[in-house]
A and B are shown apart, each in its own frame.
Chain A
């Protein structure tokens, strides 16, 4: 349900944004480029630079969002530290720091991109990047069915809770639980089948011929041009950092 509420919340939030938006495809490309170069970097120099930029961006978010991002950053970083711990005993403590810093950087890049784009922007970006429409459609449908079926399951569970009185004990209670779980899952599955068929028929009625096109109205403005300059700048910085060592 948390995922559902996040999807729904991001939907209304996006509508209120008054900032001029950068072309999502461009933003996605820059993020992926930075992650790739961070991974390829043979030393910590380039990574520190990217980290500094990301920290600056993080600092500009409101407090709640900062806490959210850092909370989600914690697990990957701790996990990496744990995995890299043996390198300290082997005498390569710098390696542990470098790898952890790279992981921190990459995850932070993704988390910050996630803060500024929602799933619709990402799937919309696929069209600009000439990725086949089938992927976009699959992703869109997945989110949609997640929400619709999630709501259905939630409603069913609510109905069940209204009909249970916690008087059963032991084996009877377990059996009842399995039955209700099976019922909810089974019904959700059957409904999902029906909805899939109906969705396909709706698409057919609107003339779907197998090609899924996206509607993208973004006009390439000066903000996009400036942002696009980041690509050669980042690549140049990377080459410089690699050559300098």
Chain B
């Protein structure tokens, strides 16, 4: 669901970023006030889960791929505001270092995956299981609620992305009537995105969310907000390590996700021309583009990218926790 650069007009990007600024501001404030200092590094772990989840590409018949985001998961563990920041950071890392998702489109991507997704997911989950996470609710009820919540969250985000794509040809065309940016209107974009997400990708998100939630509940309770202890336990580390090692499976799904084609690919998708905005648009050369390092087999590059991404997330949030004044557990 990462929107690359030049698919959205600069005006759209600006609007989406402007919409995110107050959201980020409030998230930071909420996290600073509500989250104890020693839980902040857990946001790094959550961000790592999100980052790694987004590396597992799942193929859809028809040639496109998608992936889980894990935003609802983090929202349920650490709160929706923390989830907003964690997913934003994961997306930032992906955009800057790995070239996954555009730089100008960062605001839009965050709006979809760091704001809409976790908040909708959180709200729906708590609607179904108002006593989620407490002793009064059962594990089964919690997991079902989380599954439904994450499904709704992902699809809400996909809908937003589809709308953002779809309005481009309506609003931004050149003199000849060709679209400058994303060439597919709402009538194409919405079905194309939603079909995949309502079926397969939604399922992946549900499995990802529920599996990790169950794991955390039993083996790594320190991830939860309510839990007192904060030292990262061995099961959590092992799990992260296993996820990292499993990322090359994401390579098995060949084919580019809908709406993430490169400038050279788009003409071949059926439109017949390459929108001018993409040809002349903003180009950014990432350090480790597409998670691969030149000269290495792809799967090694993938694992290294996963390690670097996960490590950076954890380091980032550990540093952030230092900024918060006040006491912390050892």
Contacts and interface: CB of A to CB of B under 8 A. Distances in A.
Within the complex, are A and B direct neighbours (CB within 8 Å)?
A: yes
Interface string B291-315: 0011110001000100110111011
B287 A241 contact: no
Range for the number of chain B residues in contact with chain A? 20 to 34
Nearest to A242: B295
Contact of A55 (B41, B287, B296, B312): B312
A55 B308 contact: yes
The SS class assigned to the B binding surface is helix
Interface string A33-54: 0000000000111001101110
A5 interface: no
Contacts, number: 56
Contacts of A45: 293-296
A66 interface: yes
B224 interface: no
Contact of A59 (B288, B293, B295, B314): B314
A52 B308 contact: yes
A194 to B, nearest CB: 44
Range for the number of chain A residues in contact with chain B? 20 to 34
Given A56-B311, A59-B311, A97 B287 contact: yes
A196 interface: no
A52 B319 contact: no
Nearest to A57: B311
B288 A55 contact: no
Contact of B304 (A52, A64, A66): A52
The SS class assigned to the A binding surface is helix
A244 interface: yes
A23 interface: no
A150 to B, nearest CB: 29
A67 B295 contact: no
Interface in A62-83: 62-64, 66-67, 70
B237 to A, nearest CB: 8
Nearest to B41: A63
B67 interface: no
B321 interface: yes
B318 interface: yes
Contacts of A97: 287
A63 B41 CA distance: 8
25 contacts: A48-B304, A48-B308, A49-B300, A51-B308, A52-B304, A52-B308, A55-B311, A56-B307, A56-B311, A58-B315, A59-B314, A59-B315, A60-B237, A62-B318, A63-B41, A63-B318, A63-B319, A63-B322, A66-B318, A67-B319, A67-B322, A97-B287, A241-B295, A241-B296, A245-B295
Interface of B: 41, 44, 237, 287-288, 293-296, 300, 304, 307-308, 310-312, 314-315, 318-319, 321-322
Top-3 shortest CB links A-B = A55-B311, A63-B318, A59-B314
